[in-house]
Amino acid sequence: MMMLAITGSIGMGKSTVARMFEKAGIPLFDADAVVRDLQANDPEMIAAIGKRFPDAVRGTVLDRETLARIVLGAPAELQALEAIVHPEVQAARQRFMEDHQDASALLFDIPLLFETGGEEAFDKVIVVSAPAEVQRERVLQRPGMNEAKLNAILARQMPDAQKRERADFVVDTGADLSATEAQVNEILYCLGLR
C-alpha cells in the first residue's frame, strides 16, 4: 500500500485537491476534519480542553474561535492543546488505516506535515501551492479572518517555497479547477493509481 501525504499552507486549496484524489478512489484521512469532529462531539476531549482552557468551553460546548485566540501565537498553550488532541487523532488515523487496509493507496491531509517532521512516514508528499496574492485573497474571505490572524498562522507554517522544494509533487491551484484536476490526474498516472 502506498502512503501519500498532502500538505500546503493555509488558503492554498489543499482540501479541494484532497477531495479530487478522494473522488478518484483514494481513501482520504483529513486530520483537520477529525479534530473538528472530536472537538464538537467527544465529551471527554471537550472536558479535557475545558480543564486546561476554561475560557474556551461553555457548558459542554467548545468555542473554537476563543480557543484559537488563546493558542495562536502562544507556543506553550498550543503545545498543551496538541498534547490533548494528538493522541486521539493518532487513534483515529490507526482506525482509518485498518478500515482501508486493502486499498492500493491512502492519502493523509496533514497541514503541518513538514513543520512536525512527519514526512518520513510517507512514500510520497504532494504539496498544494498557489501564488501568494491568491492565497491572501482566499484566506481573507474566510469568516473571522483578518490580516493579523493570517500573519500569525503563516508565522507557524514553513514558507511555501520550502515546501515546494521538499515535495515529490506540486499541485498549483492558481488557475481554474480544470487545470488543478489535470495535475491531480497526472500524479495518479505517475503513481500507477489510474
For 78: left if phi > 0, alpha if psi spans -120 to 50, otherwise beta; the answer is: alpha
Give yes or no for residue 5 having a pLDDT over 90. Answer: yes
pLDDT at 80: 96
Q: Answer for the pair 108, 93: CB distance below 8 angstroms, yes or no.
A: yes
Q: Answer for the pair 175, 19: CB distance below 8 angstroms, yes or no.
A: no
Tell me the per-residue pLDDT of 62-111, one tens digit each, with 9 for 90 and over. 999 999 999 987 889 999 999 999 999 999 999 999 999 999 999 999 98
Confidence of residue 180 (pLDDT cuts 50, 70, 90): very high
Distance set, CA 51 to CA 54, 79, 95, 128, 167 (Å): 6, 15, 27, 36, 39
- CA dist., res. 53 & res. 100, Å (int): 35
pLDDT at 161: 95
Largest CA distance in the chain: 51
Tell me the per-residue pLDDT of 115-128, one tens digit each, with 9 for 90 and over. 889 999 999 999 99
- CA dist., res. 165 & res. 179, Å (int): 21
